[in-house]
Structure 1
Amino acid sequence: MDDQERVNDFFISQVHSWPLLADNREKLGSVRLKSCSFDGFSFRVQFNPGRIISSSAKVDPVSVKQRECFLCAGNRPPQQKALRFRDAYEILCNPFPIFREHFTIARTGHTPQVIGTEFGWLLELSRALPRLVVFYNGPDCGASAPDHMHFQAGSRGAMPLEGELAAVTERYGKPLVRSREFNATAIDDGLRRMILLESVRSERITDAFTPLHDFMRELREGAEPMLNILAYYRERWQVLIFPRGRHRPRQFFEKGENNILISPAAVDMGGLLITPLEKDFLRLSGEDIRDIFSQVSLPVLQFRELQELLSATYGHQP
């Protein structure tokens, strides 16, 4: 039995034994959705009240220290079982899902959300679980547990960008390098700015990620980079990296009617916007989406600097 089959069986057993997971998964069947179309791509908006805790989570250092870590084994619900992955991570079923199959993949020990030393595990997980997209949220741009290293994984096909990626790359992409073993493309579709890394060799992806990571770390004067990452694997890796300029948009902090409770993370960057409040689901327009993503994406000038750095770096690689 391979890793994907083990995870499939584990998920089924958890659905049968954990009523909270089963009930919330069942509710996804009747979740309300709407679409907003842009020039050559789309965003899907999901009204999902179960995500209110995650979307509104206080992730500042003081708040994090004042609560118990919900990813540590001793603090998990007794019904939440774990499936070991290479003795380094534990695969957990997420009881408040966005996808029909939604997992949190937590480090076995309580270590901070730091991608630099863990990026290789992201690639390993995505290769082991080809039916899923594996994703990462930085501690300051989407992770609701910034004190405990974790990835997430979910059913493929739910985020519009997955199906639109070829067209978006063709229309908005700028090749940084093209070779038989490795491609890198900078993409700015007017809402999101992203770097697409593609290869059949994990070491090429890892080598390409390092200068991007270091550039974003320098922007924060040594603090953990603000990155959201989506990783797919089918015969080759496709890794989408979204460098961020801001954690939450202005609307998140507004009072009264101007407030919109949206805190973009990797899934939102992939085109699936999660709205835990009905009022926001009903009012959210294409212009709102454009404004929100213009605030949280890496600014144009810094994205241009990043492209220049990566072009120069990749151009010297064999």
Structure 2
Amino acid sequence: MNSISTEIKQLLTDQKNEWELAGKNFSGLENVQVREFQFDGFTVKVQFNPGRIVSSAAKVDKKSIEARPCFLCESNRPAEQRGVTFGDYEVLVNPFPIFPEHYTIPAFAHTPQQIKGNFESMLDLAQAMEGFTLFYNGPKCGASAPDHFHFQAGNTGFMPLDTELETMTEKYAEQWFKDDVNYYVIKDGIRNFFVLESADSKALGNAFDGIYSMLDVSSDDDEPMLNILTRYKDGGWRILVFPRALHRPSQYFAEGEENILISPASVDMGGVLITPREKDFLKISKTDIESIMRQVLLPEDQFDKLTRKLKQ
């Protein structure tokens, strides 16, 4: 698999120079404020990033989606936006970045956001994008374009989970090996999630399909609610799967002082919570973070039931 990392890094450099919006917003990252909260064996960062209001407050109901042009379709993109082709996908610079190197990777075809049938592509992209963590947000789990299939990617090491996972598996994980895949089940007190590791892409696909098939799908959804983080390193993949219970926490809809505009997605699961409003950034507490994560992720009893099924 040929790496495209050098090519996309050059794309980012060029786009910051030739596309005013991208240049301005990436420069703005230098002034982004960050708070850190220490939990038992891991860190959660909160980033004040006003540019992400576009995503955090995005209306993703069917009526709103149908009323706007798809901003990931090539015909609707800004004239300045260019990309690097990889198979059926195009790697684009994300003009509203969280990471110092942040990309959106839409499929050329305008098809719904659904990981089933696209998992293998995620593995291929992760392998080709050395030094990057690829992520997938489900249509009701942080994707601001649920009508157009896409991944995103950011430079590895930016999210706390990128560097803390090894120590967390020692502290929290239940582990087993099955059909060429290492399974880890992690419950760290605020997040319940699975880790799959293997050098065999087909075995990983089968393992993921097993989890996917056991997750509940509500009558008005096309797929189970989940977020996925993927990284390729040292000849193998590491997949983090976060089964979800809710799209947005109660704080998002609350009024007055209780309101916190936060719409958790994969990056939040990785340990970087994005707050586009300064007042939320300043007031958010450790208790708020615990509450938000516990609400949106699968509760412990359902997660334990899923784990038991997986081990059978």
1:291-310 alignment to 2 at 5 Å? 291-310=291-310
Native 8 Å contact 2:142 2:247 kept in 1: yes
Alignment correspondent of 1:30: 31
The residue matched to 1:242 in structure 2 has which SS? Answer: strand
Structure 1 runs of 4+ aligned residues shifted over 4 Å read: none
How far apart are the structure 1 equivalents of 2:257 and 2:199?
49
- More displaced, 142-151 or 155-164? 155-164
1:127-142 alignment to 2 at 5 Å? 127-142=127-142
Alignment correspondent of 1:198: 197
Deviations along 1:246-278, one digit per CA (max 9) or x if unpaired, are 110000001111100000000000000000000
Superposition deviation, residue 219 in structure 1: 4.0
- TM-score computed with the length of structure 2 as normaliser: 0.96
Alignment gaps of 5+ in structure 1: 313-318
Counterpart of 1:256, as a letter, is G
Alignment correspondent of 2:48: 47
Deviations along 1:5-50, one digit per CA (max 9) or x if unpaired, are 2212222221221121111111111210010111111100100000
The residue matched to 1:35 in structure 2 has which SS? Answer: strand
Alignment correspondent of 1:186: 185
How far apart are the structure 2 equivalents of 1:152 and 1:212?
22
Q: Does 1:100 align with 2:100?
A: yes
How far apart are the structure 1 equivalents of 2:64 and 2:171?
43
Native 8 Å contact 2:37 2:43 kept in 1: yes
Alignment gaps of 5+ in structure 2: none
How far apart are the structure 1 equivalents of 2:179 and 2:55?
41
Alignment correspondent of 1:21: 22
Alignment correspondent of 2:264: 264
Task: Note the aligned Cα RMSD (angstroms).
Answer: 1.3
The residue matched to 2:260 in structure 1 has which SS? Answer: coil
How far apart are the structure 2 equivalents of 1:81 and 1:4?
16
How far apart are the structure 1 equivalents of 2:309 and 2:25?
45
Alignment correspondent of 2:146: 146
Deviations along 1:181-210, one digit per CA (max 9) or x if unpaired, are 420111111111110000111111111000
Superposition deviation, residue 220 in structure 1: 2.5
How far apart are the structure 2 equivalents of 1:224 and 1:2?
31
Native 8 Å contact 2:3 2:129 kept in 1: no
- TM-score computed with the length of structure 1 as normaliser: 0.95
Deviations along 1:216-237, one digit per CA (max 9) or x if unpaired, are 2x34357311010000111211
The aligned length equals 309
Superposition deviation, residue 180 in structure 1: 9.3
Alignment correspondent of 2:165: 165
How far apart are the structure 2 equivalents of 1:2 and 1:184?
27
Deviations along 1:138-180, one digit per CA (max 9) or x if unpaired, are 00111000000000001111111111101111111111x2269
How far apart are the structure 1 equivalents of 2:104 and 2:96?
11
